[in-house]
Structure 1
Amino acid sequence: MSVETLPSTTDGRPQARPNPMYDPAPGLVRPERPGPVPDPEVFCGWAGETVAALDPTTEADPVGILVNLLSAAGAAIGPGPFMWIGNDRHPALIWALTIGGTSLGRKGAATNTVRRLLKAAVPDFIASNTRSGLSSGEGLIDMVRDGDGDKDPGVTDKRLWVIESEYGVTMARGRREGSSLSGILRQAWNGEDLGVMNRDALHATAPHIAVIGHISSRELRAKMQDAEMAGGTYNRFLAIAVWRNLLLPDAPGASDELIDNLASAWRTVITDARRLGEVQLTPEAAQLWRDEVYLALCGDEGDEGPIAEFTARAAPYAKRAAMVYALTDHTDRIGETHLRAAWALVRYARASAAHVLGPTAAASTGDPHLDKLLNAVKTAGPAGMTQSQVQVLLKRLNATQRADVTARLCQLPGFAAAQLSTGGRHQTVYLYAPPD
């Protein structure tokens, strides 16, 4: 089989090609797109056909509709299908953070388009297994809790599609002292049993939870300055930048006939996929994974800073997404097209993170406290910053934490600590001299 070779960037990664989904079409007006454009390969198979059919009916970004569709479909399919990646069992779960302007991103329009479709396809799932309002880890467990064998029968259907239209609020809740939300979310992405060690002893066995979050670019950039962003929660999400894709002042939405036709096919796809078990790569896809995809995605592991918060799980996410593409294509075998689509989606997620977080994000250390000190010492010029000034700058940290940050600063090129004599006790000063 001949495989088209895509143009490469300077680091050898495939370069996204022009995507006709975003080109002007007769009777349609598409605003100029200010950021990256996904490779057309992301719109493969039945999922891609569905997005193409819905695109003229909504102002939502096609890639926004796509990730909502993959996320919701994976949640509705349930815990039956899975892949082994090493010794880790990965379920068909896609979590995405759609990032765009408060009004121009059309984030809600993308979610509502998919919700309308699946309400027609699997109405019981949308009515009973779609939730919002994440506030605590205990609250999430309660939605899929086990019974106690006595008073509480528990929840028997552990599938859940969580839609958070104000994900910045969810992030703030996760930062509260004593909150278990971030830890429980990480467990949920892994498909692990959920539980908290408290007097009530909440437990949830074999949950199957997908999450879609909406956030503005400005709010995400602000949240990324918080040290408590670290810890692995955010690399469970695909960062997907979205913009309004069409100008439809009198948009009637999709016709009932279109929704019914699509829903009929999706009902069959989801019902049949729920019966499946282990999903594997075809020999051709396995070769593509070994020769190209895995090596390219492992290159992202050298990334540092906030962008790395969204790319650290690029390789397993590519296989997860490929699995969902295959399942929605009515097969338990991941073909080359499914793997290439997933690879393109992961590349777009990285490009989205880089675009939203800005050119300085890639140069960040990944620790906001260290970044704050680094920039302050640079700004201080030849005089540097005294230990007392550092204490004021990092007043939220205790002495041990400040000592750790300053020690790591001195390990960076151009930074050093010096002892300044003030006639009494020596004062430590932190200095920066650009390396040659």
Structure 2
Amino acid sequence: MPVELHLATATDGRPQARQNPMYDPAPGVDRPTRPGPVPDPEMFSGWVGETVRDLDPTTEADPVGVLVNLLSAGGAAIGPGPFLWIGNDRHPALIWALTVGATSVGRKGAATNTVRRLFKAAVPDFIACNTRSGLSSGEGLIEMVRDGDGDKDPGVTDKRLWVVESEYGVTMARGRREGSSLSGILRQAWNGEDLGVMNREALHATAPHIAVIGHISPRELRAKMQDAEMAGGTYNRFLPVFVHRTQLDPDGRGAPDELIDNLATAWKTVLADARRVGEVQLDQQAAQLWREEVYAALCGDETDDGPLAEFTARAAPYAKRLAMVYALLDHTDRIGETHLRAAWALVRYARASAAHALGAAAVASTGDPDLDKLAAAVKAAGPGGFSGDEVYRLFKRRNAAYRADLTARLCQLPGYVAAQVPGEGRHRTVFLYAPPG
């Protein structure tokens, strides 16, 4: 039988763990073993946390998966009105998340569908008209939120969009295609910038408001880590969130209609009120917490430029974005200490999720995916070396100058050398690895 998440509330309003049976099973309860990081109960704060607790007994989905879907869909449905300043950058209420879980037990789709059902009852027009999937090109994304072109095309007046990609590995592959504008357009969309491509169609979209949820398995994520988009900054727009089935409910029938209707009535009011908010700021206690604890903790070691650092490079601004959405969903335009602590806990969980999902890929990296890929191939080639022809085949979509620069940088790494060996009629270059010392 499903067991609820129990949280106590301290006198200062901060949630404290009393018992967390979803992640620490009680005796006699049939619970799957959780292989990854365990969420801090502090992230289940406020109205959004209360919603997760109400829905948890009705689904096998990981509560943290339901949480990030609520934050992402909620921010998308609220729209472009609320914002906060981080330096000179205007940040919208957009939360992008990459839920990472095994195909059979991650229950990634269950988490999204739980939220989709709630929002279909709360804001049916948003789900019907502003939820899409199938990202294939930057031009296609712009088309969904395009400006009008006079009488010829009225364009799209509601620029809100919640994109759900159940196979985000496919989306990543599409972004790698030669000439694809998808990755660049996605980066602009996360920033809330106007979108456009310079082609014959001259597509433009002003003031878009696009949130993305992607699903991917840990194995597929690790396989994609050689993608040059890591260094390009597309991935660090996403919060990586490990998810795993937290309960076995073979006779599950989903949430009762009465529960959905009650929650939907409240969510409809919350989202409508939040849409009227403009600038969001930290209150005095939250600002002090940010200055004294959170900011330094999230900035991390600036000398670390490996894949893990690339994946979590936007932790500090994401903490404020998340805190803003927590606050908006609590009917306020002031980020309180409770909102910031919840956001901080979720960002910490995202970093732990990335480390868990990436495993060995998170360490021993140069920070350049192509250079890491070449170094691994040369090391795997053994004493026979890795030939110039093999370098060409490995990076055949790159030009000769790029490959020459890549091999030159390889030979600057400890243990890697280029050698001339006899060939058929002329010498040929091979690249070798010998452990230093």
TM-score, normalized by length of structure 1? 0.89
Please state how far the C-alpha of 1:25 moved relative to its aligned partner.
Answer: 5.2
CA contact 2:138–2:185 (8 Å) conserved in 1 = yes
Please state how far the C-alpha of 1:381 moved relative to its aligned partner.
Answer: 5.5
Please state how far the C-alpha of 1:123 moved relative to its aligned partner.
Answer: 1.5
Distance 2:336 2:414 in 1: 46
Alignment partner of 1:237 is 2:234: no
Seen in structure 2, the aligned counterparts of structure 1 residues 19 and 236 have a Cα distance that, compared at 3 Å, is farther
CA contact 1:81–1:274 (8 Å) conserved in 2 = yes
Please state how far the C-alpha of 1:406 moved relative to its aligned partner.
Answer: 1.9
Distance 2:60 2:263 in 1: 19
Question: Would you say how many aligned residue pairs link Structure 1 and Structure 2?
Answer: 424
Aligned to 1:145: 146
Distance 2:146 2:19 in 1: 46
Aligned to 2:187: 186
Seen in structure 2, the aligned counterparts of structure 1 residues 176 and 421 have a Cα distance that, compared at 3 Å, is closer
CA contact 2:230–2:311 (8 Å) conserved in 1 = no
Seen in structure 2, the aligned counterparts of structure 1 residues 3 and 311 have a Cα distance that, compared at 3 Å, is farther
Distance 1:69 1:136 in 2: 26
Alignment partner of 1:334 is 2:335: yes
Please state how far the C-alpha of 1:60 moved relative to its aligned partner.
Answer: 0.2
Seen in structure 2, the aligned counterparts of structure 1 residues 393 and 125 have a Cα distance that, compared at 3 Å, is closer
Q: Secondary structure at the match of 1:358?
A: helix
Counting only pairs closer than 5 Å after superposition, residues 282-301 of structure 1 correspond to structure 2 as 282-299=283-300, 301=302
Distance 1:421 1:3 in 2: 76
Seen in structure 2, the aligned counterparts of structure 1 residues 21 and 281 have a Cα distance that, compared at 3 Å, is farther
Aligned to 1:375: 376
Aligned to 2:113: 112
Q: Secondary structure at the match of 2:212?
A: strand
Alignment partner of 1:171 is 2:197: no
One-letter amino acid of the structure 1 residue matched with residue 23 of structure 2: Y
Per mean C-alpha deviation after superposition, the further-off stretch among 168-177 and 236-245 is 168-177
Aligned to 1:348: 349
Seen in structure 2, the aligned counterparts of structure 1 residues 68 and 387 have a Cα distance that, compared at 3 Å, is same
Aligned to 1:257: 258
Deviations 1:165-209 (A, max 9, x none): 111221122122222111111111100111111111111110111
Seen in structure 2, the aligned counterparts of structure 1 residues 429 and 140 have a Cα distance that, compared at 3 Å, is closer
Aligned to 1:55: 56
Counting only pairs closer than 5 Å after superposition, residues 69-84 of structure 1 correspond to structure 2 as 69-84=70-85
Please state how far the C-alpha of 1:412 moved relative to its aligned partner.
Answer: 2.6
CA contact 2:23–2:246 (8 Å) conserved in 1 = yes
CA contact 1:418–1:428 (8 Å) conserved in 2 = yes
Distance 1:399 1:17 in 2: 61
Aligned to 1:211: 212
| RMSD across aligned positions (CA) | 2.7
Distance 1:108 1:273 in 2: 27
Q: What is the identity percentage for the equivalent residue pairs of Structure 1 and Structure 2?
A: 81
Alignment partner of 1:41 is 2:42: yes
Per mean C-alpha deviation after superposition, the further-off stretch among 166-175 and 244-253 is 166-175
Please state how far the C-alpha of 1:375 moved relative to its aligned partner.
Answer: 2.5
Deviations 1:52-89 (A, max 9, x none): 11111100000000000000000011111001001000
Please state how far the C-alpha of 1:20 moved relative to its aligned partner.
Answer: 4.7
Deviations 1:259-312 (A, max 9, x none): 122112111111111100110111111111111111111115443333233211
Per mean C-alpha deviation after superposition, the further-off stretch among 173-182 and 186-195 is 173-182
Deviations 1:136-165 (A, max 9, x none): 111111111111121221111111111111
Runs of 5+ consecutive residues of structure 2 not aligned to the other structure: 1-9
Per mean C-alpha deviation after superposition, the further-off stretch among 121-130 and 293-302 is 293-302
Runs of 5+ consecutive residues of structure 1 not aligned to the other structure: 5-15
Distance 2:395 2:141 in 1: 34
CA contact 1:303–1:362 (8 Å) conserved in 2 = no
Q: Secondary structure at the match of 1:303?
A: coil
CA contact 1:21–1:52 (8 Å) conserved in 2 = no
Per mean C-alpha deviation after superposition, the further-off stretch among 385-394 and 253-262 is 385-394
TM-score, normalized by length of structure 2? 0.89
One-letter amino acid of the structure 1 residue matched with residue 51 of structure 2: T
Seen in structure 2, the aligned counterparts of structure 1 residues 199 and 54 have a Cα distance that, compared at 3 Å, is same
